[in-house]
Structure 1
Amino acid sequence: MKLLPAALLSACCVTGAAHAQEYLPILQYHHVDASTPRSTSVSPEEFKQHMDYLKEAGYQVLDLATALQSIRSDQPLPDKAVAITFDDAYLNIYENGFPILKEHGFPFTVFINTGPIERGHRSFLTWSQMEEMQKSGGVFANHTVSHPYMLRLEEGETVDQWEQRIQQEVSDVESLLSSKLGSTPKMIAYPYGESNEVVRNLIRDQDMVGFGQQSGVVSKDSDFANLPRFPAAGPYAELSSLKVKLRAKPMPLNAIENGGDFANEQPVKMTLTLKEGRYRKYDLNCYVAGQGKASLNWVDDNVVVVEAERAFPVGRGRINCTMPDQSGRHYYWFSNVWIRTASEQRYVTD
């Protein structure tokens, strides 16, 4: 994992920080453009508003890989620590986002799919642009070669062949990052946020860190093969929404039982076990995508069963849970994503 020099790390983690925190909210962007699909885009004006707010409000924007290593080794982060990420290697990140990041002196990570880069696609970054961005805090990480649905079999493919293909999708990018840019942070963002235990074990075996697309805050208790991030584009681009996420804390959980990665024709449910402590647990609220509030059944003082009213449609569905802390200024946050498959999609569900 690429590390900052000790003096720089010390500066980034102490300067302007009156307190320390043991968790990290991570922002996720894709396009920085007003003409690209709204669901995955922020306009340059919105992105500047976000970055201006981080600066003005005293947030400490950290290098992602270094911050994660600090969390795993019990080293405190500065108060108001945050990291910035982008998925996909879109040219508009360089054209519209990078000048703003550079002006503010913010480090950032871009998860790149190398297929279109190697083909010279005009809407994607070039290696020379990435080298330029590296000099101003840019780090480039793995988003596979072809951005596939990683859990789907190709026509006529066996499970063994699928596993070999996925390993190749990951290893080819790692090799290119090392040869073209000099190093790899050994991090991957799963395309569409989809992974299963086979894929996560592959990532663990390679000593990599993996990211999904569920929302939440990273702490030492997180699964470092499937870390959460907060989307900050499209319907989540409003500054008021961003402020709530930046103040979020990790839900204090001892255990999660969610029935696995896949949903079926039955409504999903999960059992959450809170750590011992004083919480406003009866202010816990959970929301099911497309359905509204989930039902909550408290089994005892620390165990709650969260259940959707209806089955998810085919695709990805989620439940987001939040609970105010004692001060009322922050929310504990947890999200879980399930995949409901269709037979023609040929998902590997074991």
Structure 2
Amino acid sequence: MLSKPYLGVLVGGALLSASIQAQDYLPVLQYHHVSNTTPRSTSVTPEEFAEHMGYLQSGGFQVVDLRSALDDLKANKPLPEKAVAITFDDAYSNIYQSGFPVLKANNFPFTVFVNSGPVERNSRSFLSWEQMKEMQAVGGVFANHTENHPYMLRKEATESDDAWFARMSQELDVVETALVDKLGNSPKMLAYPYGESNHRIRDMVKEKGLMAFGQQSGVISADSDFENLPRFPASGPYASLSTLKTKLNSKPMPLLSEDAGGDFATDQPVSIRLTFKDGQYRLKDLACYVSGQGKASLDWASDNDVVATASKPFGVGRGRINCTMPDRSGQQYYWYSNVWIRSAPEQGYVSEKS
């Protein structure tokens, strides 16, 4: 019989091993279409999707329920080693036709963000409530993507700021009601259409008790902004399995703070200030890349404080800076991304202060 002290060593060792294997961050994959005939920029082919899911299965990844994992991270509870979550935006019918059979065969949970307008209009291009119920029975979760998929920061002609804000609130409320009425519950999660939000929208989302996702890439941790969470796109130019492997092996950038100067870009090059937590990092290997421009310039204000600046202004639309840094082992990368909007007057965007 084992002595009590020896039993204590075994138990303590098992707990230590479990804590080493636990993961305090979560990469989330973002898909739209699973089809050969839809726009390539937002699509994976059925063959590519099967390849992605096969890699998750063979690579020992633990596909987790998204909302449960977010709750655990926020509460500083560990996730399984190699945890990952799978999401789809827009609730296209080809998810049911070409994605769902693969997810079901692998017993993978997943989340679909639904814009309910075309569903209610019985559009053949979108999932029906009955299909969602079938998917829900085997791990599918359905969340909010607004009713009509608007640019949430654009006002209609002659619309006041208050009227715009009320319309955006209604866009969310309609879907929350539909999810409860048609599917029995809402996971209280939102994906912003086009990934766009500002401080006022994010405050509203928080007041409604929702967690929300943008379209900046990165990894979620307890330090993340739970009203503007990152995901990794896995469609179109990002559908390559080799690219996906790098993202799945990423960790959240160890930041103490960040300052991007707001959500909107101007006619001047954007910059972002990143302040790193104390620790042993390979800061000399930090690299930041500007969409369409190449590397950003890095100006180190102190040992842990850097400003990354684009070489020229963004054009109209969305632009980003992605930063990566190898960890001490060189086996994984820390990852961070920020997105800015460069608006044109005719687009009707709200002001930075709205």
Q: What TM-score, normalized by structure 1, do the two folds share?
A: 0.95
> For residues 18 and 276 of structure 1, what CA distance do their matches in structure 2 show?
21
Alpha-carbon deviations, 1:96-143, whole Å to 9, x = none?
000000000000000000000000111100000000000110000000
Amino acid at match of 1:198: R
> For residues 128 and 121 of structure 1, what CA distance do their matches in structure 2 show?
13
1:113 paired residue among 115, 118, 137? 115
1:198 paired residue among 197, 200, 208? 200
Q: Which runs of 5+ in 1 are unaligned?
A: 1-15
Map 1:45-60 onto structure 2 (within 5 A).
Answer: 45-60=47-62
Map 1:114-129 onto structure 2 (within 5 A).
Answer: 114-129=116-131
> For residues 228 and 259 of structure 2, what CA distance do their matches in structure 1 show?
16
Residues 84, 108 of structure 1: 8 Å contact kept? yes
Indicate the RMSD between aligned Cα atoms, in angstroms: 1.0
Map 1:257-276 onto structure 2 (within 5 A).
Answer: 257-276=259-278
> For residues 19 and 317 of structure 1, what CA distance do their matches in structure 2 show?
36
2:74 paired residue among 72, 75, 85? 72
2:295 paired residue among 279, 293, 314? 293
Residues 152, 347 of structure 1: 8 Å contact kept? yes
Change in 2 beyond 3 A, CA 1:214/1:229: same
The residue that corresponds to 1:101 in the other structure is 103
Amino acid at match of 1:239: L
1:84 paired residue among 72, 83, 86? 86
3-state SS, counterpart of residue 77 of structure 1: coil
The residue that corresponds to 1:156 in the other structure is 158
- Of structures 1 and 2, the larger Rg is shown by 2
> For residues 102 and 27 of structure 1, what CA distance do their matches in structure 2 show?
17
Amino acid at match of 1:23: Y
> For residues 230 and 137 of structure 2, what CA distance do their matches in structure 1 show?
27
3-state SS, counterpart of residue 154 of structure 2: coil
Following superposition, the deviation at residue 282 of structure 1 comes to 0.6
Following superposition, the deviation at residue 315 of structure 1 comes to 0.3
The residue that corresponds to 2:347 in the other structure is 345
Following superposition, the deviation at residue 155 of structure 1 comes to 1.2
Following superposition, the deviation at residue 207 of structure 1 comes to 1.1
3-state SS, counterpart of residue 99 of structure 2: helix
Map 1:3-18 onto structure 2 (within 5 A).
Answer: none
Indicate yes or no: 2:28 matched with 1:26.
yes
The residue that corresponds to 1:7 in the other structure is none
The residue that corresponds to 1:139 in the other structure is 141
The residue that corresponds to 1:3 in the other structure is none
> For residues 46 and 20 of structure 2, what CA distance do their matches in structure 1 show?
32
> For residues 78 and 320 of structure 1, what CA distance do their matches in structure 2 show?
27
Structure 1 stretches of 4+ with a deviation exceeding 3 A read none
> For residues 243 and 138 of structure 2, what CA distance do their matches in structure 1 show?
28
Number of aligned pairs?
335
Amino acid at match of 2:48: E
Following superposition, the deviation at residue 149 of structure 1 comes to 0.3
> For residues 253 and 87 of structure 1, what CA distance do their matches in structure 2 show?
28
Following superposition, the deviation at residue 18 of structure 1 comes to 7.2
Residues 17, 78 of structure 1: 8 Å contact kept? no
Q: What TM-score, normalized by structure 2, do the two folds share?
A: 0.94
Alpha-carbon deviations, 1:62-96, whole Å to 9, x = none?
00000000001111001100000000010000000
> For residues 35 and 342 of structure 1, what CA distance do their matches in structure 2 show?
32
The residue that corresponds to 2:283 in the other structure is 281
Following superposition, the deviation at residue 256 of structure 1 comes to 0.4
> For residues 21 and 73 of structure 1, what CA distance do their matches in structure 2 show?
13
> For residues 261 and 319 of structure 1, what CA distance do their matches in structure 2 show?
13
Indicate yes or no: 2:253 matched with 1:251.
yes
The residue that corresponds to 2:242 in the other structure is 240
> For residues 93 and 18 of structure 1, what CA distance do their matches in structure 2 show?
36
Residues 17, 79 of structure 1: 8 Å contact kept? no
> For residues 328 and 138 of structure 1, what CA distance do their matches in structure 2 show?
36
> For residues 71 and 18 of structure 1, what CA distance do their matches in structure 2 show?
16
Amino acid at match of 2:79: L
> For residues 288 and 198 of structure 1, what CA distance do their matches in structure 2 show?
26
Identity of aligned residues (%): 63
> For residues 119 and 206 of structure 1, what CA distance do their matches in structure 2 show?
26
Alpha-carbon deviations, 1:226-275, whole Å to 9, x = none?
00000000000000000000000000000101100000000000110000
Amino acid at match of 1:196: N
> For residues 325 and 76 of structure 2, what CA distance do their matches in structure 1 show?
25
> For residues 274 and 305 of structure 1, what CA distance do their matches in structure 2 show?
11
> For residues 194 and 160 of structure 1, what CA distance do their matches in structure 2 show?
18
Residues 316, 339 of structure 1: 8 Å contact kept? yes
